[in-house]
Structure 1
Amino acid sequence: MNLLNYRAAIFDLDGTLVISEPAWQAAKSSVSARFGHSVSSAFLGSHEGRNVTAFVDEVFDKYDDERRAEVVSEIKSEAWRLLPSELRPIPGAQEFVRALSQQGLRLAICSSSPSRNIDLSLKVAGIEDLFDIRVSADGMKRGKPHPAPYLGTLENLALPADQVIVFEDSLAGARSAVDAGLTTVGIGPNLPSEQFGFCAIQVPDYETLLSSMDPGRRLR
């Protein structure tokens, strides 16, 4: 897969460029308990890559809109308290992102996180200067796995789908990207996996991507 065939790359954030999911899961769990709901680790895992509103809508389906909005706000506030001390960059992410930028690809973020979390995460990862387009949960009418987030990011790039490549770590995010018509690379320590079989490529880490670039230009 020749990177010169692409004019832009879109990255998910949480789990793809930074490790932040533990903070989000802790926030969801503690706030849910505060409101009298217990959530399992498996259920929290099933919501990786999805926005907080989707989680609250499912767990607090008996609440009215106003009270669900209150829960969403509390989860975001708790996550924001935890994130500054818990955020970690994914190994190799900075080097790979900079390699793409040096090849002339435009870079965009499509994340289920709020805007301020995106800004903080990119700063922690040392790549805040490279992403001029940042699509966040704040502006999403429908979240991942619906294709709307990636379709919106594609619209911001003003490029056809066949000129853009996506990097995603979650099933919800990868499905969103593929259903938007985008070539999608699944990346994560548990890949390759049959669950991600619909992705064009599966790799366990950025080291694999970097080592397969020929020379700094090609993904095989």
Structure 2
Amino acid sequence: MTATLLFDMDGTIVETDHLHFQAMKSVFLPYGVDLDWETYRTRIIGVANTATAANFLPSLSVAEGAAVLDAKEAAYREMVTELEAASGLLPLLDWADSEGIPCAVVTNAPRANAELVLKALRLTDRFACLVIGDELANAKPHPLPYLTAIEILGGDPQRSVAFEDSPAGAKSAFAAGVGVVGLLTSVEPDVLRAAGASVVARNFNNQEVLTFVRERTGAGQTSRQASELRA
């Protein structure tokens, strides 16, 4: 079994939470829900759409709620134009390639969103697989999405690292037995630590993050890429 690096998408490898918030606010308003950023940040980020619809639109049927959230995702995709990968992500992916460590994206976002974002970032070919929570029997915070990615990659949870920006995602990875790095894009450090993150940081350039990744994966310490990461 191999070491693996497993990445959430929104708020982790790319900052898109502000676009999701705008789209969610626009589709909720006709139903009398005037969504504010604090509510979105603390109760929606990282949560599967089925659960969000049930929590915020309880008067609607499951099918009606799903239709509203589908409209939100379509509105979000219309907003996506040029995107920039999170700071330090590309060197980390280069290092993983040099060490023979496969990488995956594990997200609760719909497949259409994930494929659009990865294409916009020009990262489609950098990940060995794309795991979509809503296509499984259970999405995050259940561990199944991460367990599925590890199984596909032939990974060892004890030598794997997940990068997450939400408590739901961190709980999912932690429950799968994966080491968790929390990215501080929208959630407080203590919240991510309580959800299972061993390390929290603003971006992938953080030295503590890189040390944790090398130690967790057991990757070689003498390669040129590892030296560059230490610099």
Q: TM-score range by the shorter chain?
A: 0.7 to 0.9
Distance in 2 (CA, whole Å) between partners of 1:55 and 1:211 is 34
Distance in 2 (CA, whole Å) between partners of 1:62 and 1:116 is 27
For residue 191 of structure 1, report the CA deviation from its aligned partner: 8.3
Q: Does 1:91 align with 2:87?
A: yes
| Deviation string, structure 1 residues 96-123 (Cα, Å, up to 9, x no partner) | 2222122110011101111122122223
Extract structure 1 runs of 4+ deviating beyond 3 A: 189-192, 209-220
Q: Does 1:27 align with 2:23?
A: yes
For residue 177 of structure 1, report the CA deviation from its aligned partner: 0.4
For residue 130 of structure 1, report the CA deviation from its aligned partner: 1.3
Contact between 1:190 and 1:204, CA under 8 Å: does it hold in 2? no
Q: Does 1:77 align with 2:74?
A: yes
Contact between 2:4 and 2:150, CA under 8 Å: does it hold in 1? no
Counting matched residue pairs gives 215
Superposition RMSD in Å: 2.6
In the TM superposition, what are the counterparts of 1:59-208 in structure 2 within 5 Å? Answer: 59-85=56-82, 87-188=83-184, 193-197=189-193, 198-208=196-206
Contact between 1:6 and 1:165, CA under 8 Å: does it hold in 2? no
TM-score (norm 1): 0.86
* Secondary structure, aligned partner of 2:163: strand
Distance in 1 (CA, whole Å) between partners of 2:152 and 2:185 is 30
Contact between 1:192 and 1:202, CA under 8 Å: does it hold in 2? no
Distance in 2 (CA, whole Å) between partners of 1:189 and 1:148 is 24
Determine the structure 1 residue equivalent to 2:45: 48
* Secondary structure, aligned partner of 2:206: helix
Task: Kindly provide the amino acid, as one letter, of the partner of residue 10 in structure 1.
Answer: L
For residue 160 of structure 1, report the CA deviation from its aligned partner: 3.0
For residue 190 of structure 1, report the CA deviation from its aligned partner: 7.3
Structure 1 residues 125-134 or 5-14, which shifts more?
5-14
Distance in 1 (CA, whole Å) between partners of 2:95 and 2:139 is 29
Task: Kindly provide the amino acid, as one letter, of the partner of residue 35 in structure 2.
Answer: V
Gaps of 5+ in 1: none
* Secondary structure, aligned partner of 2:125: coil
